Structure 1
C-alpha cells in the first residue's frame, strides 16, 4: 500500500506546486488556473514520476495475478 500512497501524494503535491506557481505568475481565473494546473502537472508527472508509476503498476498487477483462496 505504501507505493500507492507515495505516488498519490506525489501527484497531489505536484498539482499544488503547479497551482501555486501559476497563481504567482498572475493566472487568477479559478477555472483556468485549475485546468492549466491539471494539464501541466499531468505532463510533469508522466515524466517525473515514471519510476513510481511502474512500481505501483507492478504492485497492482501482482495482486491481480494472485489466485484467490477458495471457500469450500
Structure 2
C-alpha cells in the first residue's frame, strides 16, 4: 500500500505547490486557479513522477494477479 500512498501524496503536493505559485503570480480567480493548477500539476506529475507511477502500477498489478484464498 505504501507506493500508492507515496504517489498520491506526491500528486497532491504538486497540485498544492502549483496552486500556491500561481496564486503568488497573481491569478486570483478561484475557478481558473484550480483548473490551471490541475492541468499544470497533471503534466508535471506525468514527467516527474514516472518512477513512482511505475512502482504503484507494479504493486497494484501484483495484488490483482494474486490468487484469492478460498474459504471452504
TM-score by length of 2: 0.98
CA shift at 1:29, angstroms? 0.2
Q: How does 1:6-25 map to 2 (within 5 A)?
A: 6-25=6-25
- What's the counterpart of residue 27 of structure 1? 27
RMSD, aligned CA: 0.5
Aligned to 1:53: 53
- For residues 17-62 of structure 1, give each alpha carbon's deviation from its aligned partner in whole angstroms, at most 9, with x where no partner exists: 0000000111000000000000000000000000000000000000
Q: Distance in 1 between matches of 2:10 and 2:52?
A: 9
Q: How many residues align?
A: 72
Aligned to 2:71: 71
Counterpart Cα distance in 2 of 1:47 and 1:30: 26
Structure 1 stretches lacking a partner, 5+ long: none
Secondary structure class of the residue paired with 1:71: coil
What TM-score results when the alignment is normalised by the length of structure 1?
0.98
Q: Does 1:4 align with 2:4?
A: yes
